[in-house]
C-alpha cells in the first residue's frame, strides 16, 4: 500500500489530512510546525494539524530546520512513496525529492495566478469573480511545478476571504484525494503552468496592506475590507484611534459635503466617509481597545464631534 507523509499546519490542511484518512490512504506520519507560545499566558500551543493527527494516533514530526540531517534521517525511516503538502512552508529539495512518486502541493488559486503566501486574500482584494484550487508537483521555484488537477470556485460580490477560505478548504480536500488516487493508479498527466500571460501575485500580507485609503473607489475599498476579513482586517484611523473595519457598504451617490476622507454621522444610525466616487458606510468595526460592534451599537455608546 502506498505510504504517504503529510505536511501541513493550519485548519485548512486538517481537512485534507482527514479526507485522505477517510479515503483509506496509508498516512504513515505527519510533519507540522513546532509548538508556539500563544494567548495571554503565552502557553505552548500545537498546530491544528498536530492536534488532529494525535487524535488519529499518527506520528508527528516537528522539525525546527527542514534541512537538519537528523530530520531528513527520521523522515527516511517512514519510507514515504508520496508526500502531500497543504499550507506548509517551502521545502528544500532534499525533502521534496525524497519519495519515488514525488511530492505534490495543494494551492488555493488557479495557478499560475496568485502564486505566493496569500492567494485567497488577494483574489478577493482584487475583486476576482472566480478562483479555485490546484495540485501540482513541487520543484525548485515556489508554486511553479507541473499542474496535476484544478477545480474552480466562484466568488460572489459579498464573499469575504473567510467565506472563500471555508469553501476552498473543503474543495481542496477532495482534490487532494483525487490527486492521490490518480498517482496511486498511475493515471495522471502533469502539465507545465502556462506563463504566457501576465500573472497576478499573492505576496505576504503586511499591516500596510490593510490600510484604507479613502481616495480609492468605493469598490476598491469594499474589496479590501472583504479581502482582509476575518484576518488580519482592514483598518483606518478615527479620532486618533486605530479601528479595524469589518464590513462596509458603498454608495455611489455623491454628497457635496462628503469630500474624499470627510466623515459624517447622525450620531444614531450611520457613520460614513467620502471616497473617490461616492461614500462608504461603516457597518461593523472594532475600535482600538474595544470589542467588535455593529455601527449602531457603537454610536449609542460613543460621543464625538467632527
Model pLDDT for residues 261-273, shown as the tens digit of each residue: 999 999 999 999 9
For residue 151, the cross-strand partners are 133
| pLDDT over 90 (residue 28) | yes
Name the band, by pLDDT with cuts 50, 70 and 90, for residue 277.
very high
pLDDT on residue 42? 75
Name the band, by pLDDT with cuts 50, 70 and 90, for residue 232.
very high
Q: What's the whole-number mean pLDDT along residues 220-247?
A: 97
Q: What's the whole-number mean pLDDT along residues 29-56?
A: 92
Q: What's the whole-number mean pLDDT along residues 69-98?
A: 97
Q: What's the whole-number mean pLDDT along residues 74-89?
A: 98
pLDDT on residue 41? 74
d(Cα 105, Cα 91) in Å, to the nearest integer? 11
Name the band, by pLDDT with cuts 50, 70 and 90, for residue 291.
very high
Using a pLDDT cut of 90, give the percent of the chain over it: 92
The pLDDT tens digits of the residues spanning 125-179 come to 999 999 999 999 999 889 999 999 999 999 999 999 999 999 999 999 999 999 9
| pLDDT over 90 (residue 305) | no
| pLDDT over 90 (residue 14) | yes
Name the band, by pLDDT with cuts 50, 70 and 90, for residue 38.
confident
Closest to 7 measured CA to CA, from 120, 133, 111, 92: 92
Name the band, by pLDDT with cuts 50, 70 and 90, for residue 301.
confident
What is the rounded average pLDDT for all residues in the chain? 96
pLDDT on residue 280? 98
pLDDT on residue 179? 98
Name the band, by pLDDT with cuts 50, 70 and 90, for residue 43.
confident
Using a pLDDT cut of 70, give the percent of the chain over it: 100
DSSP letters for the chain: --EEEEEE-SHHHHHHHHHHHHTT-EEEEEE-PPPEEETTTTEEE--HHHHHHHHTT--EE--S-TT-HHHHHHHHHT--SEEEEES-PPPPHHHHT-STT-EEEEESSSTTTTEES-HHHHHHHTT-SEEEEEEEE--SSTT-SPEEEEEEEE--TT--HHHHHHHHHHHHHHHHHHHHHHHHTT----B----SS---EEPPP-GGGGB--TTS-HHHHHHHHHHTTTTT-EEEEETTEEEEEEEEEEE-S--TT--BT-EEE-SSS-EEEEETTEEEEEEEEEETTS--EEHHHHHHH-----
d(Cα 305, Cα 111) in Å, to the nearest integer? 49
| pLDDT over 90 (residue 254) | no
33 phi/psi in degrees, rounded to 5: -70, 150
Q: What's the whole-number mean pLDDT along residues 76-95?
A: 97
Amino acid at each position: 500500500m502506498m505510504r504517504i507523509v503529510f505536511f501541513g499546519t493550519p485548519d485548512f490542511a486538517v481537512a485534507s489530512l482527514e479526507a485522505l484518512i477517510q479515503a483509506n490512504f496509508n498516512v504513515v506520519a505527519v510533519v507540522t510546525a513546532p509548538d508556539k507560545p500563544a494567548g495571554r499566558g503565552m502557553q505552548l500551543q500545537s498546530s491544528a494539524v498536530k492536534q488532529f493527527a494525535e487524535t488519529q494516533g499518527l506520528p508527528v514530526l516537528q522539525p525546527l530546520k527542514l534541512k537538519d540531517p537528523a530530520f531528513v534521517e527520521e523522515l527516511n525511516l517512514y519510507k514515504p512513496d508520496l508526500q502531500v503538502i497543504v499550507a506548509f512552508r517551502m521545502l528544500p529539495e532534499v525533502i521534496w525529492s525524497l519519495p519515488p512518486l514525488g511530492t505534490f502541493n495543494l494551492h488555493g488559486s488557479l495557478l499560475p495566478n496568485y502564486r505566493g503566501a496569500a492567494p485567497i486574500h488577494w483574489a478577493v482584494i482584487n475583486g476576482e469573480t472566480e478562483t479555485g484550487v490546484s495540485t501540482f508537483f513541487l520543484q525548485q521555484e515556489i508554486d511553479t511545478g507541473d499542474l496535476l488537477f484544478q477545480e474552480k470556485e466562484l466568488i460572489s460580490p459579498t464573499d469575504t476571504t473567510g467565506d472563500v477560505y471555508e469553501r476552498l478548504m473543503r474543495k481542496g480536500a477532495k482534490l487532494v484525494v483525487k490527486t492521490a488516487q490518480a498517482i496511486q493508479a498511475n493515471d495522471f498527466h502533469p502539465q507545465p503552468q502556462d506563463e504566457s500571460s501576465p500573472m497576478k501575485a499573492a505576496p505576504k500580507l503586511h499591516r500596510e496592506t490593510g490600510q484604507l485609503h479613502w481616495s480609492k473607489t468605493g469598490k476598491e475599498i469594499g474589496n479590501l475590507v472583504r479581502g482582509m476579513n476575518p484576518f488580519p482586517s482592514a483598518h483606518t484611523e478615527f479620532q486618533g484611534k486605530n479601528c479595524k473595519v469589518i464590513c462596509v457598504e458603498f454608495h455611489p451617490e455623491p454628497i457635496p459635503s462628503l469630500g474624499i476622507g470627510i466623515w459624517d454621522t447622525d450620531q444614531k444610525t450611520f457613520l460614513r466617509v467620502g471616497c473617490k466616487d461616492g461614500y462608504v458606510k461603516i457597518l461593523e468595526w472594532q475600535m482600538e481597545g474595544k470589542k467588535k460592534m455593529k455601527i449602531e451599537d457603537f454610536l449609542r455608546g460613543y460621543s464625538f464631534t467632527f
